[in-house]
Structure 1
Amino acid sequence: MALIQSGTNVVAAAPKLLAHQAVLSLNAGDTAWMIVATALVLFMTLPGLALFYGGMVRKKNLLSTLAQSVAVTVIATVLWILIGYSLAFGVGGGNADSVINKIVGGFDIALLNGVKLDTAYKAAPNLPEYLWIAYQMTFAIITPALIAGSIVERMKFSAFCLFIALWSVLVYAPVCHWVWGGGFLGAMGVLDFAGGAVVHVNSGVAGLVACLVLGKRKGFGRDNMAPHNLGYTMIGASMLLFGWIGFNAGSEWAADSRASVAMLNTIVATMTGAIGWIVPEWWERKQPTLLGMVSGMIAGLVAITPAAGFVTPGGAMLIGLITGPVCYVASTYIKNIFKYDDSLDAFGVHAVGGFTGALLTAVFANTAINPAGAGASVLKQFIGLVVVIGWSAILTYLILMVCKFTTGLRVTEEEEIEGLDQSQHGETLHG
């Protein structure tokens, strides 16, 4: 009788699974690593990106730039729990093979309904689902935060908050689902190990659209808009590199050999990206700049993101070396030719670097590193990138129009001259 009762208790304890779930098969080592990786990726936004961007603006806009990174972290976190996770990783239509699910996840796990201590996401049964949610949430934070680099020093804070909220739900969550959550791009064979398309192309294109809609900063091309503190920028870039280890190596979702090569690839591509940027800059300007070196590092990091778990360190070295000068050209010559005010080169580094890295992923994919690389195709990568670019551009524009006719988009000319620290937040750097 006791044996029967014991068996009944085991059955009763088994979790009732939703369509996106699996029974947790906990791996303590993988779980410990992913807790660390989650903290590392969160560290990328606060304080990494905040300081990186903050150092590049004028002093009167430092605090407003830091505030944008804080606001994104707050807004994206809350929305991820409310609905973002469900749209990105839920099963649309209740059936993984449904047409709806190829486009967007469902509402079945809004507010984390049905998530328990003993459930896992089906693609990562070795990790508690709560940890999976937290890790993916850090990606949902950093992605819209990158957009701020294109629109700093002129966007109303109220408009920025509304824009981030709508963009997180309508742009980021669906694109994440398409590639990583069971959607059509992943099924098509588009390779994106840690976010070349989902994170960098997506946010970089949104940044370009936003800076075009907002218009140029007052005095752009005439006034001195040089970074006020490149020390902050260098510290921020170093923090980004540190956190990016969790971003790329963590995207293996396990503490294993592929995570190790992804970490090594990340570091290698960062350094060759710096070389690729600084060589043409040094040649042209006759002096190597600190800003150029750290910009090249970020370009290398962006480019290796989609490829980190698919290529050898030799491939990573070439990816960084190729992408560095490409991003340098995009952030100098192309921007100068078309005269758009992409304030901190979010488009030139993230969209262009992500696009280049995603294509090169197919070129350098090695099945000895990852068997999934056997299906690598430049054409598939290109099609996937075009889809992401189109969705991001169109939806970003529509969201900006909503903001324009509700909160308004841009501060007044007087407020911009005064600086957004004071006009938007009533604060200054020195009290």
Structure 2
Amino acid sequence: MINVFQPMLGEQELAAVREVFESNWIGRGERTKAFEEGFARHLGVGPRHVTSTNSCTEATFIAMELADVGPGAEVVLPTISFVGAGNAVASRGARPVFCDVDPRTLNPTADHVEAALTPRTRAVVVLHYGGRPGDVARIAELCRERGVLLVEDAAIAVASRVDGRACGTFGDMGVWSFDHGKILVTVDGGMLYVRDPELAARAPKLAYLGMEQVSGYDQALRARTRWWEFELSSFSRRSVTNDVLSAVGLVQLGRLPGFVARRRRIAERYDRGLAGVEGLLCPPPLPPGHESSHYMYWIQLEGGIRDDLARDLYERGIYTTFRYPPLHRVRAYGSDAVLPGADRAADGTLLLPMHQGLTDADVDRVVDAVRECVRARLGRRRSPAPA
């Protein structure tokens, strides 16, 4: 089976984990600090503005707390988003307000976001679909003009940029994912960026039970006695990562440019192989100055054949999927929004395998299967009924 997403881990990562085991310190320590510092350099921000977490979802929950999202507030987010973003809003007693997306890029435009803003809007959360930056610069400007906070869900945009600026740093906060299916993998993990220095200083405390002092070793260097005592700044969860996962992350961070370069070549090979297939659209070209992480590669299909094509490909050993199902259709959120662009995209879009472990032969196998199956499915739909 050719997988949609797949990590690339090897001897370098195993060696890094072995070093952590041999150090006898596997909790949060120097390697976690080094991973945070390295990721901050990758973003082009100061290390005190980033905090590692045990998942991107936890980073989003912390962002909602830092944004003071609570009962009576509204948070605008594209309906094509990960459920963790919707849950982070709803768990605070706030109301998720879903906006539409462009049916081709599956990203919201500034106009989509503006149409959903109300006097109760406290924050906006935007996803960079498939790793494409989207209209983030205009959305950030809009949020500043309206006095609402912008949180960028850059979970799948770890190397995405606009005019050299990293996605996740256009707004007030940004979050990233390093789980088993992402490009940069720590097995499980996330990162939070906070622009405001005071809020950034609060983030590590919120990630560790609200404790003002989290390391007895560090405290022992400064206190003569009772370094095990602590104070609380809030009643928070434990959302930290550890040195085992951070050691993996440090290796993966060094390999990231090569991973993204390989994904770019795969996307280009898909573009060439699927060009001109009747009834099929490839992703639109990136605007000038935009760099994608190429986390997803999707095709869009006419004739209502998407679901049948997914089954055909699965039976040929090619796994496909669609992410992310529109949140305005999830009953638990209680939305009555009418979002035609998102509905159109969700009902006709299919994600093809995209990971740096794919060989050229794998990509060609997918291309050949897609071309053959699309042609067969559309031919059946268009054939006249027997007399």
Normalised-by-shorter TM-score class: under 0.3
Higher helix share: 1
User: Normalized against structure 1, the TM-score is what?
Assistant: 0.25
Higher strand share: 2
User: Normalized against structure 2, the TM-score is what?
Assistant: 0.27
